[in-house]
Chain A
Amino acid sequence: MMLGYNVENIRENFPVLSKPIIYFDSACMSLKPKQVIAAILRYYEEFPACAGRSAHTFAKQVELEIAKARNEVKKLIHAQKDKEIIFTRNTTEGINLICNTLQLQKGDSVILTDKEHNSNLIPWLKKGIQVKIVPSNKDNTFNLEEFQNLFDKSVKLVSMVHVSNLDGVENPIKEISKIAHEHNAKVLVDGAQSVPSQEINVKKLGMDFLAFSGHKMLGPTGTGVLYGKEEELEKLDQFMVGCETVRDSTYTTYTKEFLPHRFEAGLQDYAGIMGLQEAARFLRRIGLKKIQKHEIMLNKVMTETLTHPSIELIGPVDPTLRSGIFSFNIKGMSPHEVSKILDTAKGIMTRSGAHCVHSWFNKHNLEGSCRASLYLYNTPQEVNIFCEEVQKLIHLT
């Protein structure tokens, strides 16, 4: 056990863990600690009002809480200014915002990896932007050389996943940003999997934009964040407009609101944002470096125990390169069967299918995989039970 990391104490904060389940699907949706649930309830019970509109007591309190939440998220990713934090509904919305507001011309292109989530592929395809795909190495790690070879004058943006939800492989964002900037391209990072599980310093990593979701980092569903460097956000066109996004309007003109509100159209999910604030606080209190170490420790146990000719692992064999993700197939069984049997037999919840990375599975002619994703509340005992059950499944075929 890691010094200062007591998983049993952590688990006590999660009411749902009193059920006889083993939850290994945090890459899709994390569980919620009671602090987050309480924050949501607190808004509705104590000051359920609008922010930035009315001047009464409740409204001012909501405004203050939202400002505090923005500040908390800023601290989580080590951003410079509160106004660089834009609240969205999720990572997908953040990416779509950039896709629709960045000044991209016909003939411009964007570089993606071959393991992008549909949320970082479809927006570009729909927009008609040319996409250049970086093929991964054989072990599914990032191929920096191939990446560099893709640059030409048309490349205006590099939009990449930080930690892949497919196999947990982390892309070297710092190097990627450096190379992209050398070619005058901007960098947008999909941090849906990385922000919940590792220390993120946007300044050190050098990206221009970072999109991530609240629901994967202990926060409520329907909450997300788009970080952008102030100077880059200023250059963007507006995405959705209406109330909150303008300071003034006539029948023919309008004046844009200041950052970050110009990108937050309409009434916001205040309760959700307050829950997100608590989630960020919870993660920071435990320490993201410790969380990352814990995940990798569990993944090591899982990988070592489940090394078997019938288990086809997706991604590199080395578990330290796969964060908290163990994505696999059992020869002779479909991933859905594996997942469903684990759930029915032992209450082990995993995800099966293409994990919204259909393009990669289609390229490799695979139906999908069964994915066990580990998080701060999972225990070695749970990993052992999972391994025992998977080993039994091997003998089923």
Chain B
Amino acid sequence: MALCLLALPIFALLGIFSLKYRKLTKDSLECLFKTVTLRKCESGLDERIKARITGSLFKHSTKTAKFVYHYYKPLTWIFIILIIWSVYEGSVGIYNYSAYGNCNGPESTGFCALDPTGKNSKTSDLNMVVPEEIILPQLQEDDPLIGPQNTQLTIIEFGCYACPYTKRAEPIVRQVLEYYEGKVNIQFKTFIIPHHKDAFNAALAANCANAQNQYEVYHNALFAIQEGLNNASYEILASKLGLDSEAFSICMENQTYTSEINEDSLQGVDAGVIGTPTFFVNKRKIVGPKPFKTFKKIINQELKK
């Protein structure tokens, strides 16, 4: 019976494409039904499969063939359990992928067979250990907001101006803001990835622009020139955007906002952020540049609360 149970879903799947397997599906169904109803499996399918497996092993190793022949029942049950487990895990993975853009859920950056390039989940990693006690990040008045000021929901984003994945999330963030116009805004917290050499200076520059109430436009411009970031580009950009160049230069030279930037990063560490971008929608975490539908699903749920 176990073999028929094991064979049924496999043959049913293959039967979609081949007549041969449709016949075998019928046999396995008959075999299963008869065995369950305490009758003899007339098709002999279980016996045929067992013999075929044994025969194939026989070519290579008599001992292995003997082992399989004797223990085929427990082995079959192990396979059945593994298949059920695989089907369950696979289903969860597919659900996660359709809902969150990653098989492992919104919080994961792990490998997903449905997204092998990790387009939706890649982050610039810190390779750090996640703290045992998570302290969720708090909105802070001194951190700039993107979008309208007073909204029903504020998403906290831990990002890095030198991180390509944070940049990849930008259009999605824009889409979120447009879709939930007036209801949702974003608070961007800089999370410094040390191996991105321009990360700190870019964060510093964004804060200096914020000091001149030009945060959002400077923030967008930084991402626009991300590949060409260097020490000279911040002041050029400030000048182009019509900021007070002198004040901006002083701000940069004095590294006025160092402690604030470090504080943001520490908040991220406390919240278990290990890579950028990482978003917090209230207590819900989204890791990586997940598709819009992932944000939509979670935001809708949070807005209903």
Taking a contact as CB atoms closer than 8 A, the residue among B48, B56, B66 that contacts A396 in the complex is: B66
- Residue A334 is within 8 A (CB to CB) of chain B in the complex: yes
Contact A345 B55 (CB under 8 A): yes
CA distance A396 to B66 in the complex (A): 5
CA distance A336 to B55 in the complex (A): 12
Which residues of chain A are within 8 angstroms of B62 by Cβ–Cβ distance? 392, 395-396
Which residues of chain A are within 8 angstroms of B44 by Cβ–Cβ distance? 334, 336
Known: A392-B62, A395-B66, A396-B69. A334 touches B55 (CB 8 A): no
Per DSSP, chain B at the interface is helix
CA distance A346 to B59 in the complex (A): 7
- Residue A340 is within 8 A (CB to CB) of chain B in the complex: yes
Instruction: Determine how close the nearest CB of chain A comes to the CB of B66; give it in whole angstroms.
Output: 5
Which A-chain residue is minimally distant from B58 (CB atoms)? A345
- Residue B109 is within 8 A (CB to CB) of chain A in the complex: no
Contact B51 A392 (CB under 8 A): no
CA distance A342 to B51 in the complex (A): 9
Contact B50 A344 (CB under 8 A): no
- Residue A246 is within 8 A (CB to CB) of chain B in the complex: no
Contact B50 A337 (CB under 8 A): yes
Taking a contact as CB atoms closer than 8 A, the residue among A341, A346, A389 that contacts B54 in the complex is: A341
Which residues of chain B are within 8 angstroms of A345 by Cβ–Cβ distance? 55-56, 58-59
Contact B52 A340 (CB under 8 A): yes
Instruction: Determine how close the nearest CB of chain B comes to the CB of A219; give it in whole angstroms.
Output: 29
Interface size on B, residues (CB 8 A): 15
Instruction: Determine how close the nearest CB of chain A comes to the CB of B77; give it in whole angstroms.
Output: 20
Q: Mark B48-82, 1 if CB is under 8 A from A, else 0.
A: 10111011101100100110010000000000000
CA distance A339 to B47 in the complex (A): 11
Instruction: Determine how close the nearest CB of chain A comes to the CB of B67; give it in whole angstroms.
Output: 10
Contact B65 A337 (CB under 8 A): no
CA distance A345 to B65 in the complex (A): 10
B180-205 CB contacts (< 8 Å) to partner A: none
Interface size on A, residues (CB 8 A): 16
Which residues of chain B are within 8 angstroms of A396 by Cβ–Cβ distance? 54, 62, 65-66, 69
CA distance A346 to B54 in the complex (A): 12
Which residues of chain A are within 8 angstroms of B51 by Cβ–Cβ distance? 336-341, 344
CA distance A336 to B62 in the complex (A): 19
Contact B55 A342 (CB under 8 A): yes
CA distance A26 to B54 in the complex (A): 25
- Residue A230 is within 8 A (CB to CB) of chain B in the complex: no
CA distance A174 to B301 in the complex (A): 94
CA distance A345 to B60 in the complex (A): 9
Which B-chain residue is minimally distant from A397 (CB atoms)? B69
Closest 6 CB pairs of A and B: A344-B55, A340-B51, A345-B58, A341-B55, A337-B51, A345-B55
Residues of chain B at the chain A interface (Cβ within 8 Å): 44, 47-48, 50-52, 54-56, 58-59, 62, 65-66, 69
Would you mind naming 24 contact pairs between A and B with Cβ atoms under 8 Å apart?
A336-B44, A336-B47, A336-B51, A337-B50, A337-B51, A337-B54, A340-B48, A340-B52, A340-B55, A341-B52, A341-B54, A341-B55, A344-B54, A344-B56, A344-B58, A345-B55, A345-B56, A346-B59, A389-B58, A392-B58, A396-B54, A396-B62, A396-B65, A396-B66
Extra A-B contacts (7), CB below 8 Å, given A340-B51, A341-B54, A343-B55: A336-B47, A341-B51, A342-B55, A344-B54, A344-B58, A345-B59, A396-B66
